[in-house]
Structure 1
């Protein structure tokens, strides 16, 4: 089915990564763990809470990149995986995009997109470590990667226009102003009068 949507929790991001409603509840930046909604159910949720933004799945999938959450990269696991490995990536120490590792990129510079990471041979590992990089075995890192989307690549109007979806503007609910009345005589009072004597009958109405 092509008419599927993700729901973004637009209240916060992780680094530049958008957060989505997750399959098992809660939120995730991992598109492979994001819940997929029909058009009707996505719009219904938006109408309940306008910070939950529906995005066409196809639009988001086309704009994904690959990131690696540093929380899932363990030194002991990486050391074991390095045995016999011929390809390595070079991560920057103590630099992250949200939780995502930053890599030395193919064209120079750096990137949190693993697809941009430059691959090195085992012969470069010692030199990379001496220069302050964190050499990590490529096969191990590839297994820890996930698809995510940078909010910088997302345009909600463009996405909804392509899906031929127009959302109703949700009017904020008016907060009803609390009114005060004198208990004995029923006269309407200002908030200040309510904490003083009633100007009509002199009664005290302090709560």
Structure 2
């Protein structure tokens, strides 16, 4: 039986580039796939128009590994791993949603821990300098690995490709009608956007609320 994750596709539901899915047992929306509810096909289609079913196999093949900065502590990391043999290097003051940003072996940055560089303890300082990130934060690898989670980002998935062969045809999103108002000066129609962008082009009336 095919299983599906159910994504909340509303704009506010994205966490950085990460997709949010229905949590297990109606626990809200989560980016952590291990905490996401799985649905049979009928159940995945029995929801709001803004909820999108993604085949589990498709999503699982495209995961990234992210680390939520809300659930880690540098002091705790070194208390638990005082003799860590290797470290990840984090770019400070930079996030993708809640996810920390890491350095890879070329000095590029990524939120995907899968491609982050592991640096031997003795080489942390010189590696940071070589990559011109002298302010990089060093985290014990074992601690970060234990606090990582599986997620998927919008640039790694394609809905048309994902649903090919499933027999699922999603309804086209309904267009929201444009809000129109009458100009307070001359009565002409003015759109909601126009009344904030400029005064009435006919009579000069300021129609902002």
Residues 59, 162 of structure 1: CA spacing in aligned structure 2 closer, same or farther, 3 A cutoff? farther
Q: Deviations over 1:37-95 (max 9, x none)?
A: 000011111xxx11111111111111111000011111221121331210100001111
Alignment counterpart, residue 137 of structure 1, candidates 140, 154, 164: 140
Residue 52 (structure 1) aligns with: 51
Shift of residue 171, structure 1, vs aligned partner: 5.9
Residue 13 (structure 1) aligns with: 14
The alignment partner of 2:34 has SS state of helix
Q: Does 1:26 align with 2:25?
A: no
Q: Does 1:108 align with 2:107?
A: yes
Q: Deviations over 1:123-169 (max 9, x none)?
A: 13345499101000000000000000001112111111142322344
Residue 153 (structure 1) aligns with: 156
Residue 63 (structure 2) aligns with: 64
C-alpha distance in 2 between matches for 1:164 and 1:74:
46
Residue 191 (structure 2) aligns with: none
Counterpart contact for 1:87–1:137, Cα < 8 Å: yes
Residue 190 (structure 1) aligns with: none
When the two chains are superposed, the root-mean-square deviation of aligned CA atoms in Å is 2.1
Counterpart contact for 1:89–1:136, Cα < 8 Å: yes
Counterpart contact for 2:49–2:171, Cα < 8 Å: no
C-alpha distance in 2 between matches for 1:153 and 1:62:
10
Shift of residue 5, structure 1, vs aligned partner: 0.4
The alignment partner of 1:136 has SS state of strand
Alignment counterpart, residue 43 of structure 1, candidates 42, 45, 54: 45
Residues 41, 132 of structure 1: CA spacing in aligned structure 2 closer, same or farther, 3 A cutoff? same
Uncovered stretches (5+) of structure 1, i.e. residues with no partner? 175-207
- Tell which structure's C-alpha radius of gyration is larger: 1
Residue 180 (structure 1) aligns with: none
163-172 or 35-44: bigger deviation? 163-172
Counterpart contact for 1:81–1:137, Cα < 8 Å: no
Q: Deviations over 1:10-45 (max 9, x none)?
A: 012001000000004100000010000000011111
C-alpha distance in 1 between matches for 2:113 and 2:173:
39
The two structures have a TM-score, normalised by structure 1, of 0.76
98-107 or 33-42: bigger deviation? 98-107
Within a 5 Å distance, the mapping from 1:115-194 to structure 2 comes to: 115-127=114-126, 128=128, 131-169=134-172
Aligned length: 170
